[in-house]
Amino acid sequence: MDARMKITDVTGPFREPREQVFSYDYSIQRATWPTPQAVRVKVAIPEELDVLRGKIFGAIAGTPGQQLIISKYLSRHIADEKIRIAESDGMLSERRDTLVAPFTGPLFHLFARLDAWADEKRESLREEIRTLVGL
């Protein structure tokens, strides 16, 4: 039986109240599940987005609109990678609504995999974002 996860829909980013995070809502499906399940992925702005943006771009300039587009684009890619990391770590194996919290505190050990992904994808992300926003 095919137990691979399939992402059927993604919405966001949403700004969480009282938290410095962007969140994305994923709908995931497996062949063995009768209905899709919800997964909320949170991307911490100071600990994940800002750190990886600095790693990928260094100090970048641009208009506030360009900065907003960069944040939205990069946070979505980070959320996509976080759901892949959570899947490979077994966090999404059960059929229930799940929250993938920021990779800080108890989940800090997973940040190293996110950091390695950023190193690996640095040039392609830079090029895609430069093309997208015209930097």
Q: What is the pLDDT of residues 62-84, one digit of tens each?
A: 788 888 888 999 999 999 999 99
Q: How far apart are CA 54 and CA 66, in angstroms?
A: 15
Residues in the chain: 135
Res. 39: pLDDT tops 80: yes
What are the structural domain ranges in the chain? 6-133
Calculate the average pLDDT of the chain: 90
Q: Please, are residues 38 and 29 in contact by the beta-carbon 8 Å criterion?
A: no
Q: What is the pLDDT of residues 93-110, one digit of tens each?
A: 887 778 999 999 999 999
Strand-pair partners of 29? 6
Determine if the pTM surpasses 0.85: yes
